[in-house]
Chains A and B, each alone.
Chain A
Amino acid sequence: MGSALLEMRGVSKQFPGVQALKDVSIDLQAGEVLGLVGENGAGKSTLIKILNGDYQMDSGEILINGRQVALRSPSDAAEQGIRVLYQELITLDTLTVAENLLVGHLPTRRGSGLVDWRAANETARAVLRRMNIDLDPRTIVGDLSVHQKQVLEIAKAIQKKATILVMDEPTAALGEEDTRSLFGIIRSLKEQGVGIVYISHRLMEVFEITDRVTVLRDGQKIGTVRTDQANMAQLIGMMVGRQLEEFYPKREIPKGEVLMRVQDLSIKGILDKISFSLRSGEIVGLFGLLGSGRMNVLRALYGLDPYDGGTVTVDGRTVALTTPNGALASSIGYLPIDRKLEGLALSLPVSANITMANIDHIGSGFFYSGKLERQRAQKWVKDVSIRTPDIATEVNSLSGGNQQKIVLAKLLETGSRIFLMNEPTRGIDVGAKVDIYQMMENLCEAGAGIIMISSELPEMLSMADRIIVIARGRIKAEFSRQEASQEKLLAATTL
C-alpha cells in the first residue's frame, strides 16, 4: 500500500491549563470516510483546527501523500487541498450561488475588467452539473436552506481542488431527507478519491457512512476501529470510558389526567387543524420532516408565533397563548431548538441564566434578590448535574452539554408542568444526553407532560410514549411506542 492521503503523527497541543491533545495520530486514505467521535472536550475540534492551520501544534507532524507539510494558516491548508466545513457555515448570504462558488476567481471581460456575469453563471452551472447538484447559480444564497448552503460549500471545496474534506457535525441542522441527500454526495465524493473526515455526535450516522472510526477521549486517541467490525455499545464505551447500562432510561410511568388539549390549531398556509392532547406523565413526540410544521406547533403553543385558529385548554380551562409570558403563566415552558439563539444569554453567568425565565419570582415586590438567585442556581446545578467551576461563570465558557443543561434548568425553574422541547439533546455528547433523558423521565414521574420534537429517530422511538406524524401542516398518523418503527414513521410522512 502506498502512503496515506493524510497522516497526522504524534500531535500534541497545550492550552493554558489544559492538555487539549496528547500524542494523537490519525490517518486517512483516498476515497475513505474516517469518523472522528468523542465527547465534547475530547479534542476533536482542536485536531481539526490544527489541520486547518487555525492552531499550531506543539509537537507532531502532518504528512500529505507521504510528504511532510507545514500548515501555518488556513490558506496553507487550502493549498494542500484541505478544506474544513465548520458547523457554522460561512457563506456570503447577500450574494448569488455563482458568486459564492467563484469568489476570488470571477471571470472578467477583457478590456473593461468588469465581471462577465454570463460567463460566471455558465461556469457555475457547469460545476454544479458535474457534481449532480440542482441549484440555480443566480439564486441569492441567503434564500437557500442549511442543506443547500452545505452542498454549495462542498461544491466550492471541490471546485478549488480539495482532496481532504473535513465535515464538522454536518447533519446537526438537517432533517432526515437532507441527511440522505448529503450521504449521497459523500458517497460520490468517495468515488472521486476524496478523503473525508466525518465528525458527528450521531452514532447511527457514523455507522452508516464511515469506513473506519477514530475515538478520542480527554485529548488522547483511544483507538481506531473498522466500522463494519464495531458496534454501538463498544463505541460508546470507548468514548465515555465505561459501559453505559442504559442509553435510553425509559421507565414505565402511569399516565394521569389530561394536562393540555389542542383543538384545531391552525396557521394559514402552515398548519391545518392540528388536534391532540397531552396527559400527565406522558411524552408525546411530534415527528415530521423539515418544513412539515412540527416546529410551528411548538412555537405557536408557546406564544412565540401567532396562530389564527383553534383553541388550547390547560387543565380544562381555555387559555390564550399570544406571548411567551402568557404561556408561562399557563404553566407551559419551552426548550428552544437553538440554545445560543433563543436559550442562553451567553455573556451572563450561569446563575442569571437559570433564573432568567422566572425573574418576577426571585425576590419580593420591586426588588430582585441576588441571594435567592444564587440559592436557586446552586440547587439546579446540583439537581441537573451541571459541571461548572461556579455559578458566577459566564455560560459561553461551558461545553455544549452543560449549556443545554442550563437551558433545561431555566425551564425547570419556571415551575411549569407542560414542557415543549425542541430537539432537547441537539449537538451534545452522549453522557449529557443520558442525563437529559433521566431528567425528562423524572419530570414525567412528577406529573409533568412533555411534547418533544427530535430529528434523531432512535431518540424519538425510545423516549416518546406516543408519536404524532405531521406532514404538510397536518397530522398524518399516530403511533404508540410499541407500534412505532423507523419505517412506519418515514412512510407516514409521505401520506
Chain B
Amino acid sequence: MADAIQLEPEPAARKKKRLSATLILFLALVGMVAAFAALSKDFYSFLNISTMLTNISFSGIVAGALTMILITGGLDISIGGNIALTSCLVAYLFNLERPVPAWTLIPIAVGLGAAIGAFNGLFITRLDLNPIITTLGTMAVTRGLGYVLTKSRSILIMENVTGFIGRTVIPGIQIPIPLVLMVITYVLLFFLLGKSKFGRKVYCIGANQAAARASGIRVNRVKFILYLISGITASISGLILTGQTAVGMPQHANGVELDVITAVLLGGTALSGGKGEILGTLAGVLILGVLYNGFTMIGFRFVHIRVFQGILLILIVALYELRDRKKA
C-alpha cells in the first residue's frame, strides 16, 4: 500500500568518489617522482630511493595506526614522545654494566609502546577525556622520562644490536628492513580497517559514536585497541630510529606528529571522523616523503622545507574543507 504514495524524488545520491580520490593522489605521486627525477639526477639513484623509503617507513608505520584513530574522531600526539622514550630505554638497557640480553630488547620496546598506548586508551575511554589533551600530557611525560633516563644526554649504542632493524636490507633484493616492516604493517591494517568487522565498527564510531553505542558496538573497547595499536607502532618506529642512528636520545622524533598528521590528512582522512582509508594514508605518506627528499635533492634546506610543510598542512585541511562545504 505504501508504494502508492507519491513522494518528491530523493535528491540523487552522490556516488562515492573515495577510490578515485586515492587514485588521484597516487597519480600525483607518479608525477612528482617523474618531475624530481628530471630536475635532479641524484634523486633517481638507487641509494637515494632506498634512503627515502627507509625514512618514509619510519613515519609511515605510525601514520597507518593514526589513520584509524582519526577516523574515530580521536588523535594521538604522544607518538613522538613514545618513539623517543623507546630509543632511550633501549640504549639505556643495553649500556648497563650488565646489559640485558639483546633478544629481549624488541619485546621490551614493544611492551613499552603497548603500555603507553594502553595508558592513553584507558584515560580516553574510561574517563572520556579529550584525546588531544590526554596524549599531549603523555607526550610530555614520555619525552620527560627520556630526559630522566638519559640524564639529558645521548646514549650511544656502541655495538649496534638494533642496527639490523634500521640499517640492513634483505640480501639479494636489497629491500631495507624498515620498508618490509612498513609493508607488513600496511597489509595488516588494510585488512583490519577495510575488510574486518572491527574496521566496520571503527567507521561507525567515527560517524556517530552515540549511535554506535546504541547499536551494541563496544565503543570503549574498540577505541582502547586503537590507542594500543598506535602505541605499538610508535615503539616499532622507535626501534627503527634507534637502529638507524645507533643512539638513544630524548630529542628523537621531535615534530614527527606534524609529518604524520599531515600525511594522514593528505590521504583524505576527515579530521571530523568517519572517513578515511589506509591506502589514502599510504599515498599521503609516500607523497610527503618524495616531496621532502626531492626538495632536499634540488637544494632546499631542512628549515625551508619545515616552513613549506606547515603551509602544506593548512592548505590540505583548507582544500578538503572547501570540498566538503561544496558538497553540503
Contacts and interface: CB of A to CB of B under 8 A. Distances in A.
Interface of A: 17-18, 20, 39-43, 218-219, 240-242, 245, 302, 304, 323-325, 327-328, 334, 336, 341-349, 352, 356-357, 359-360, 362-363, 366-368, 385, 387-390, 392-394, 397-399, 402, 410, 414, 431-432, 434-435, 438
A392 B13 CA distance: 8
A362 B208 CA distance: 20
B208 A346 contact: yes
Given A325-B217, A342-B214, 11 more contacts: A18-B8, A324-B215, A341-B210, A341-B211, A366-B196, A367-B191, A367-B197, A389-B10, A397-B14, A402-B10, A414-B216
Contacts of A385: 2-3
B10 A399 contact: yes
A348 B200 CA distance: 11
Nearest to A333: B216
Given A41-B8, A368-B195, A397 B13 contact: yes
Contacts of A336: 211, 214
Contact of A17 (B5, B12, B217): B12
A389 B11 CA distance: 9
A367 B13 contact: no
Contacts of B13: 388-390, 392-394, 397
11 contacts: A325-B216, A341-B211, A343-B211, A345-B208, A356-B215, A359-B204, A363-B197, A385-B3, A431-B5, A432-B2, A438-B2
Contacts of B212: 345, 356
Interface residues of B, number: 39
Contacts of A245: 1
Given A359-B200, A368-B197, A398 B211 contact: no
Contacts of A363: 197
B215 to A, nearest CB: 4
Contacts, number: 137
A352 B14 CA distance: 16
B207 interface: yes
A240 B2 CA distance: 10
B196 A367 contact: yes
A112 to B, nearest CB: 37
Contact of A218 (B6, B11, B201): B6
Interface centre among A218, A357, A385 (most CB of B within 10 A): A357
A147 to B, nearest CB: 23
B10 A368 contact: no
B197 A366 contact: yes
Nearest 4 pairs of A and B residues by beta carbon: A345-B207, A41-B8, A393-B13, A357-B215
Nearest to A328: B216
B213 interface: yes
Given A367-B196, A367-B197, A356 B204 contact: yes
A392 B208 CA distance: 18
B207 A367 contact: no
B223 interface: no
B311 interface: no
B218 interface: yes
Contacts of A20: 8
Nearest to B327: A394
B2 A435 contact: yes
Nearest to A362: B197
A102 B146 CA distance: 55
A376 B109 CA distance: 45
